[in-house]
Structure 1
């Protein structure tokens, strides 16, 4: 997608979040270079979404330190949000079932033009803005692996008529329209067949190789990823530590996505 690596480095030391129900995650250590494929691995309900939201500046933490693209968290949450994008996060990036693929893409492009682009981009002639928007959409769709010609009604296909992998790829494409330095994807492999899962990971790996750092929540991490593992409720003392292939650590007491989103709203 990008001619030169532009992804965000991600580091964390002793990173943790303690809420009313205890630790959401604790003592996370992570060191990932720009353009890394980072997998947050754990069972559903193990607090994976909390960590994803925290590392993208959507949730304040209570322990340790972290940096994304050299920006410290939680001090620079707003700046981190500006260089990251979310895909497929329940309650945050939900697609509207009645809208078509084209309507979702058009809406996201308009929002990006209004709130994300530099002022000089808004001053360009209308024809240039339209061409640039079309190019950005085409690039995002290609990077996400979504071929509109394969959909039942092309870009006029309603979201409710998409298969699960297609909906996931659309959510990724919408996030990529903003050209983030870090793309965060929740529930990456949920309800996918082995073949579909392999295809999605191939797409995310290609994105990382092109320079965009990818942070993906999953139940099983792919080979070669930087892995952070979260533990299910009731394991060990309730905050068991697991180590990834690169020595990263994560501890969790089982807080799920609903709690994570509620906490995010208060952060």
Structure 2
């Protein structure tokens, strides 16, 4: 039997401290491959730092974690190879001057150059082009984005996309490489209620297809495993920061730690600065 495509995510007492305090601390989680994990909290609560730590892009200060059996922080580079970032401000943003087609071609080219095998690079040009287009079409379908419906089709500039369309494009770009884990920041930012529902349906469908999804948000959807940041213990659902998902029947353990109350927006920025990602 084939092993699941998605990466399991586990963490124990995970924490990251910057010069002005803890970005997050005491995070415990156990998520099976293909889970939808929501990192819920207010802006400045360390939620983006937690997302980047679990994808091998920020080094935690204490505790441990594993992604797809790769232990953090020892295997950060290996974890980065199996994870892909959707939109993360300051880290992986869309270029507003690029068109949809330019973004897709660039990502396919980078994937072929750095993510493919030597044998793939030596294939005939026509075969390489066909393979790249197949990757693009598959990713667009998974992200629910049909370029033909855009104002200028694939020639539409990113600056002219609606927020939900830009999210779908970012997800499609991330999926071109076939990652085992997809990470998305600010999932529900500036979305209406109906758009928010569509965004979560998109990420849920990606998870159902087998890719583990980590998504930062201000309010987690029902049914997602939820990690909460920036809360005090007396306000937590069960005293330790965990919020049990409704109808959790897949046997996945959901225990999440929270920030210890010292985290501020500056603390999060300091954590980025400490790792060279200010």
Matches of 1:125 and 1:4 in 2, distance apart?
31
- Is the Cα–Cα contact under 8 Å of residues 4 and 211 in structure 1 kept in the other structure? no
Matches of 2:21 and 2:94 in 1, distance apart?
31
- Is the Cα–Cα contact under 8 Å of residues 30 and 254 in structure 2 kept in the other structure? no
- Secondary structure (helix, strand or coil) at the match of 1:249 reads coil
Distance 1:260 1:198, change over 3 A: farther
Task: Using structure 2 for the length normalisation, give the TM-score.
Answer: 0.89
RMSD of aligned C-alpha atoms? 2.0
Aligned partner of 1:108 in structure 2 is: 107
Distance 1:118 1:100, change over 3 A: same
Aligned partner of 1:254 in structure 2 is: 263
- Is the Cα–Cα contact under 8 Å of residues 19 and 270 in structure 2 kept in the other structure? no
Distance 1:260 1:180, change over 3 A: farther
Matches of 2:201 and 2:270 in 1, distance apart?
31
Aligned partner of 1:56 in structure 2 is: 55
Structure 1 alignment gaps of length 5 or more:
none
Matches of 2:102 and 2:277 in 1, distance apart?
31
- Secondary structure (helix, strand or coil) at the match of 1:38 reads strand
TM superposition outliers: structure 1 runs of 4+ over 4 Å? none
Following superposition, the deviation at residue 264 of structure 1 comes to 3.3
- Is the Cα–Cα contact under 8 Å of residues 233 and 241 in structure 2 kept in the other structure? no
- Is the Cα–Cα contact under 8 Å of residues 100 and 154 in structure 2 kept in the other structure? yes
- Secondary structure (helix, strand or coil) at the match of 2:27 reads strand
Distance 1:162 1:121, change over 3 A: same
Aligned partner of 1:211 in structure 2 is: 210
Matches of 1:93 and 1:175 in 2, distance apart?
10
Matches of 1:113 and 1:189 in 2, distance apart?
31
- Is the Cα–Cα contact under 8 Å of residues 146 and 169 in structure 1 kept in the other structure? yes
- Is the Cα–Cα contact under 8 Å of residues 91 and 261 in structure 1 kept in the other structure? no
- Is the Cα–Cα contact under 8 Å of residues 5 and 210 in structure 1 kept in the other structure? no
Following superposition, the deviation at residue 116 of structure 1 comes to 1.0
- Is the Cα–Cα contact under 8 Å of residues 18 and 270 in structure 2 kept in the other structure? no
Distance 1:248 1:173, change over 3 A: same
Following superposition, the deviation at residue 4 of structure 1 comes to 7.9
Matches of 1:247 and 1:7 in 2, distance apart?
17
Task: Using structure 1 for the length normalisation, give the TM-score.
Answer: 0.93
Aligned partner of 2:32 in structure 1 is: 33
- Secondary structure (helix, strand or coil) at the match of 2:97 reads coil
Of residues 27-36 and 140-149 in structure 1, the stretch that sits farther from structure 2 once superposed is: 140-149
Offset from partner CA, 1:130-149 (integer Å, 9 cap, x none): 00000000111111111111
Give the length in aligned residue pairs: 262
Structure 2 alignment gaps of length 5 or more:
245-252
Aligned partner of 1:265 in structure 2 is: 276
Aligned partner of 1:157 in structure 2 is: 156
